[in-house]
Amino acid sequence: MYEFLLITHFIGLAMGVGTSFAGLALGLASKDLEPAERAKFMQRASAIGKNGSIGLTLLLLSGLGMWFSRGITQVLTWAGPPFHAKLTLVVLLIAAFGYMQVLQKKAREGGGPAVAAKIPKVGALMLLLGIGIIVSAVLAFK
């Protein structure tokens, strides 16, 4: 069962961090577009965000499953500070993800350029958090 959870965890990781990289690439590719055309393009491209949502859900569910299968106190004492850093970064990623959902909803409802300008910044933050989570996980479980 643990192997299934670990595979699911890595699939979720690939989907979540891959979505962040894709968002960054699409944002860079659309920089030369007119502002109205860019907003329309990015609104359509935001459909890939569904992959990020599914990936984050898989990560959380499989991570909790692995945690409970190994024993909560055993994992917390065994993994040490890098694992605690990973958990902290996951909490921050979830908060940034929630904020991104709010921004995207406001953008769909015509929130204007101020709202649209925040989305790439939050996306970049989420990418950095995802990379930090990967680094912390490698340090915790080496």
- pLDDT grade for 113, boundaries at 50, 70 and 90: confident
pTM: 0.82
The answer, yes or no, to whether residue 75 has pLDDT greater than 80, is: no
Quick one: pLDDT band at residue 71, thresholds 50, 70, 90?
confident
Rounded to the nearest integer, the mean pLDDT of the chain is 85
Q: What angle do CA 45, 63, 12 make, to 5 degrees?
A: 25
